[in-house]
Amino acid sequence: MELKYFSIIIIFIIFFHFSYQAKIISKRDVIDDTISPENEIEVTLSEGDFESSQNVHEIDLSKLGINVPADPTMGNKTEGDIAVKNLKLFIKNSNGLARNAIRQKYRRWPNGEIPYTLSSKYGSYAKSIIAKAMDEYHRKTCIRFVPRDSSRHVDYIYIHPDDGCYSLVGKVGGRQPLSLDSGCIQTGTIVHELMHTVGFFHEQSRNDRDNYIKIVWENVMSGADDQFEKYGINIIDNLNEPYDYNSIMHYGPYAFSANGRRTITPYQANADRMGQRVEFSPTDLRKINKLYECNNYGSNGNIDNSVNQVCEDLNWRCNFWSLGLFNYCDRYDEVRNVICRFSCGTCRINVDKFGRRNPFNEDMGGGCFDSASYCRSITPSFHCKVPKLANNCPVRCRLC
């Protein structure tokens, strides 16, 4: 009798455990498909989303019944996840690309600020993971994903669950889509797609790739040869960085395989992580910070405070020139690098322990500081009117 009751208790505990886990995260916490297209709206991440992203534990989405490919970025678009029908035509019309990075300034996001909205279909778990991926950029580069302000931002990305994982490359104009369906809600996958948005192509598109990898064409699925295009040195440049097997933008060894065998074989031994979708490589960070002239960030993505330059604007009009309406920071090197270094975000201001602005790029420690990770994402002219946000983000709101 006691054994019977003991067995019932064990079964109850097991059932309760899995039921509790299911209650913690469900499919609707990833994407709520009960929201109809006519009721789907554009929203942005909240303060709570960025706060929860600091402690969120990523789960195996397949345990929720979600189909998660081995590499979600290997989709049915150009090079798997680039949403452009004809990449060669795109390159021709772009007047040159930087090996795996865009060269022309009009395709870069002004001041490294990328306005965004996202679909209201994303649940709490998905939003925390998206926030976590964005925060990787905020902590390690000068790229800032900011909530779209319709009065200021004509160009912005719209993150929505369309069909797999894909993105456009760089700033294309208007509302440009970035798709993250339920199988894409992983930090590394999102970082990869956002790096396309920032302006990068895949690493193996480089002209010099044949010195580092061999494409095993007999193993490539029929009709997928163009997924392994490379682009001439007359079109692209490498930002003076070495070939990076560990880049979050590199194909994996079995990309577009027809038979389960390798399609990419590295020539060097340091390629164990080729195709990883976990984190930036050090070279990824250097490339981003070079492309956007993030002068205060070191090779590891950390803020470099060693440069003792005055961080200030030399003209009162910088407050206006830095707005998207004028776009002077992106259009004029002298405005960005000399006249409006503070407003264009070319330099950073720290404060001392008494809350006084330190006009040099050096750390005086303590005192006035932003206490929340989401501070990097807020738009001062809009969010700093909210007392709680202003209190949590005094540096971003320029209150000290």
Kindly list the catalytic residues: 193
User: Residues within the annotated binding site for Zn(2+)?
Assistant: 192, 196, 202
Burial 135-145 (b: 16+ CB within 10 A, else e): bbbbebbbbbb
Q: Which DSSP string corresponds to 167-232?
A: E-SS--SSEEEEEE-GGG-SHHHHHHHHHHHHTB--GGGSTTGGGTEEE-GGGBPTT-GGGG----
User: Residues within the annotated binding site?
Assistant: 192, 196, 202
- Left (φ > 0), alpha (ψ -120 to 50) or beta: where does 252 sit? beta
If one counts every other C-beta atom within 10 angstroms of the C-beta of residue 131, the result is: 27
- Classify residue 91 by burial, with Cβ atoms within 10 Å: 0-12, 13-18, 19+: buried
Q: Which residues contact 284 (CB under 8 A, 6 or more apart)?
A: 195, 244, 247, 248, 249
DSSP-assigned letter for residue 78: B
Q: For the chain, first and last CA: distance in Å?
A: 71
